Amino acid sequence: MSEQTQTASSFRAVPQLDLAAQYAAIGEEIRAAIEHVMASQQFILGHQGAALETEIAGLSGAAYGIGVASGTDALILALRACGVSAGDEVIIPPFTFVATASAVNAIGAKPVFADIRPDTYNIDPSDLPRRVTRKTKAIIAVHLYGLSADMDPILGFARANSLRVVEDNAQSLGATYKGRRTGSMGDAGCISFYPTKNLGAYGDAGMIVTNSSEHAARLRTLRNHGQSAKYVSSEAGWNSRLDEIQAAILRVKLRYLPEWQRARQAHAAAYSKLLLGVPGIAPPLVPENFGHAFHQYTIRVEQRDALQRLLKERNISSSVYYPVPLHLQPLYSSLGHHAGDFPHAEHAAKEVISLPMYPELRSDQITRVAEAVIEFVTK
């Protein structure tokens, strides 16, 4: 390939996510925020973390925020604060990132799957009743791709059965459900600031938000070796503290989040305008009264793998979240599930594909991606 052709083709490349574009725009502010922490020489449990906790709780419509080391730790600690312990069962969807389930395993509890709805990819509340046993303690409602799970029936079912509800809000910070914010509706909401998230750190970080002062106090203890006072530990915890450098970076990015969210929503609308009504393509559904955060713009097509190959040939990146549902993962073979046990999750795993989505995406890139998808389904 000549140098000229190489340059032309890389110019035309459409990445699935472009964090470098974001850093080019805000790098100066980020570096200043890091320098500020360096000058303070306070790296753990300081002003930046405390301020971020208040800001994220506010954004989530919750009373308290507790910064932790990752979204996975947020789930583990939230389950513990909700009283889940070894031998309990926790109902989760099988169509999610493995961390939702491994957090349940981490405390010796058992993940029990309930199928998803085929149109929203989130847990189907009508599948909950047959999954409950005497051992069920909690439900984790995952808000996948930026869309809230259908919380009213989940919360109603949990209340009727004395179950706790933990929201896995790793992917949907800023999403809304009937005027409420994701993360604020259950007993605790768990956020991931993994770098690729809508609000991403420059390393691992996470947070739990809750409206319960009791949960908040316990979580602050659990994330810091169970210490209720300095060098006094009341129960076993460990180190899951969010550090000051990550908190300072996140606070800079938080100022841009509303603008970035609007850009994501505009990009999603532009994609859907081109793709809606095209036979063979199911663009993402946004149910009435739901505010989608569009962490991903995920469509559904038959022959998904062939579409992904075609996009790659056109220099367009895409991702599949997630190709293997959890009940069919080797990790969970001991649970004894088979293909066909959760048909909607299995079907989605074969057909979903996430198209390029990030705030800096340009409209000509969206058109190019959508045209390639349309060409695939119409040829």
Ligand X SMILES: Cc1ncc(COP(=O)(O)O)c(C=O)c1O
Q: Which residues contact 75 (CB under 8 A, 6 or more apart)?
A: 99, 100, 103, 140, 166, 168, 190
Residue 168 touches ligand X, criterion: CB under 6 A: yes
DSSP class of residue 283 equals P
Per CB under 6 A, which of residues 17..56 are in contact with ligand X? none
Residue 70 touches ligand X, criterion: CB under 6 A: yes
Which residue, 141 or 373, has its beta carbon nearer to ligand X?
141
Which residue, 207 or 372, has its beta carbon nearer to ligand X?
207
Residue 307 touches ligand X, criterion: CB under 6 A: no
Residue 99 touches ligand X, criterion: CB under 6 A: yes
Site size toward ligand X (CB under 6 A) is 15
Sole window of 8-16, 69-77, 129-137, 347-355 interacting with ligand X (rule: CB under 6 A): 69-77
List the helix and strand counts (H, then E) for the chain: 11, 14
Binder of ligand X out of 17, 33, 142, 281 (CB under 6 A):
142
Residue 170 touches ligand X, criterion: CB under 6 A: yes
Sort 99 into a burial class: Cβ within 10 Å, 0-12 / 13-18 / 19+: buried
Sole window of 22-30, 67-75, 223-231, 261-269 interacting with ligand X (rule: CB under 6 A): 67-75
CA distance 250 to 270: 28
Local structure of 5: helix, strand or coil: helix
Residue 171 touches ligand X, criterion: CB under 6 A: yes
CA distance 61 to 52: 14
Residue 100 touches ligand X, criterion: CB under 6 A: yes
Which residue, 77 or 170, has its beta carbon nearer to ligand X?
170
CA distance 187 to 78: 8
Which residue, 96 or 365, has its beta carbon nearer to ligand X?
96
DSSP 209-261: EES-HHHHHHHHHHTBTTEEETTEESS---B-PPBHHHHHHHHHHHHHHHHHH
Which residue, 97 or 260, has its beta carbon nearer to ligand X?
97
Binder of ligand X out of 121, 177, 194, 342 (CB under 6 A):
194
Local structure of 121: helix, strand or coil: coil
Which residue, 192 or 308, has its beta carbon nearer to ligand X?
192
Sole window of 33-41, 116-124, 166-174, 302-310 interacting with ligand X (rule: CB under 6 A): 166-174
Q: Cβ of residue 206: shortest distance to ligand X, in angstroms?
A: 5
Secondary-structure breakdown of the chain: helix, strand, coil percentages, each rounded to the nearest 5:
45, 15, 40
CA distance 258 to 254: 8
Q: Cβ of residue 172: shortest distance to ligand X, in angstroms?
A: 9
In what helix (H) or strand (E) does residue 24 lie, and over which residues does it extend? Answer: helix 19-40
Q: Cβ of residue 146: shortest distance to ligand X, in angstroms?
A: 11
Residue 72 touches ligand X, criterion: CB under 6 A: yes
Which residue, 82 or 372, has its beta carbon nearer to ligand X?
82
Local structure of 199: helix, strand or coil: coil
Residue 96 touches ligand X, criterion: CB under 6 A: yes
Which residue, 95 or 260, has its beta carbon nearer to ligand X?
95
Sort 146 into a burial class: Cβ within 10 Å, 0-12 / 13-18 / 19+: buried
Alpha carbon distance, N-terminus to C-terminus of the chain: 29
Q: Cβ of residue 90: shortest distance to ligand X, in angstroms?
A: 13
Q: Cβ of residue 283: shortest distance to ligand X, in angstroms?
A: 21
Q: Dig out the tokens for 203 from the structure.
A: 């390393």
Binding site for ligand X (CB under 6 A): 70-72, 96-97, 99-100, 142, 168, 170-171, 192, 194, 204, 206
